[in-house]
Amino acid sequence: MTGRFQGKASWVSFRTMAPTIWIDGKYCDEANAKISVFDHGLLYGDGVFEGIRVYNRRIFRLHQHLDRLYASAKAAWIEIPLARDAMDRVLGEVVAKSGIADAYIRLIVTRGIGDLGLDPRKCSNPSVICIVDHIQLWPPDRYEKGLTAVSAATPVNHRESLSPRIKSLNYLSHILAKVEGIAAGVDEVVMLDSAGLVAEASGMNLFVVANGTLKTPPAYGGILRGVTRDAVLELAREATYGVEEVPLNRYDLYTANELFLTGTAAEVIGVTKLDARTIGAGVPGPVTKELARRFKALATRGD
């Protein structure tokens, strides 16, 4: 790669402890954790995945993550070779073996080994991979000051093409959008759908606060229905904020009192600059902060 994509983001840190890796029933160390070059997950991005957090040794919203994984697999016509209760047990076991109290689980199901044609019927066995590692968050100053962002020219996949509701291994459009953000020297990107409506960030869902009401794009449209998004919607209702799942466009973002993003890794994080405009007061607002606090309490309580 060339130019400004060389090197690492300034806050990337080095691992302190080895990840725990489980592939199709066997533990392997990092050097031996390998999949075939004929796996269609590699050849075609043909597979699905989840990113899940562990707080104080308890898996956060495992049920919702597995619902989404099995639904993604169903939509992609992949049969996961483990029943739900067996998958539950595997995750519990790998997390316990890792010894990491606050961990990130990457759970991947690939189509499996096939030939160089794309016909999935040539792949007999989907592979299940579970990696338990430390979690990389945004640095603390981004939570205090908020993220900077631009709206990306690359739209999310059309909902009738590769549905954004499938958490598939093909993230290229989101990566291309992320690259636009890197090239523009900002932290994140806001992605639109092919009709120009606001969809989501590169790996997070998006909310605005306008006159005390929370607004977020509807889950049935062209976005991933985030587990964090759902939890924040519940917390906002509990805190008696008005909540609307409505189509938004960039006007709604530019004129919002607050703008924030939600995701498993980031939790709840404000955006204070978008397309060079200052959003709201230019610092993460009171609703963002309150929901971030409530989310942390919920996650560390383990519900």
Contact with ligand PXG (CB under 6 A): which of 87, 95, 107, 204? 204
Question: Of 40-48, 238-246, 247-255, 260-268, which part binds ligand PXG (CB under 6 A)?
Answer: 260-268
Closer by beta carbon to ligand PXG, 52 or else 279: 52
Q: Is 215 in the site for ligand PXG (CB under 6 A)?
A: no
Contact with ligand PXG (CB under 6 A): which of 114, 217, 226, 284? 226
* Alpha-carbon gap, residue 6 to 2, rounded angstroms: 6
Residues between 86 and 105 with contacts to ligand PXG, criterion CB under 6 A: none
Q: Is 228 in the site for ligand PXG (CB under 6 A)?
A: yes
Q: How many CB atoms lie within 10 A of CB 87?
A: 20
Q: Is 59 in the site for ligand PXG (CB under 6 A)?
A: no
Reply yes or no on whether 145 is catalytic: no
Binding mask 180-199 for ligand PXG (x = CB under 6 A): --------------------
Binding mask 136-175 for ligand PXG (x = CB under 6 A): --------------------------------------x-
Q: How many residues bind ligand PXG, per CB under 6 A?
A: 15
Residue 84's nearest CA partner among 111, 110, 108, 66 is: 66
Angle CA 114–36–169, to nearest 5 = 75
Instruction: Find the shortest distance in angstroms from Cβ 116 to ligand PXG.
Output: 27
Residue 259's nearest CA partner among 241, 276, 274, 242 is: 274
**Catalytic residue positions?**
167
State the residues that interact with ligand PXG by CB under 6 A: 51, 174, 200, 203-205, 224, 226-229, 262-265
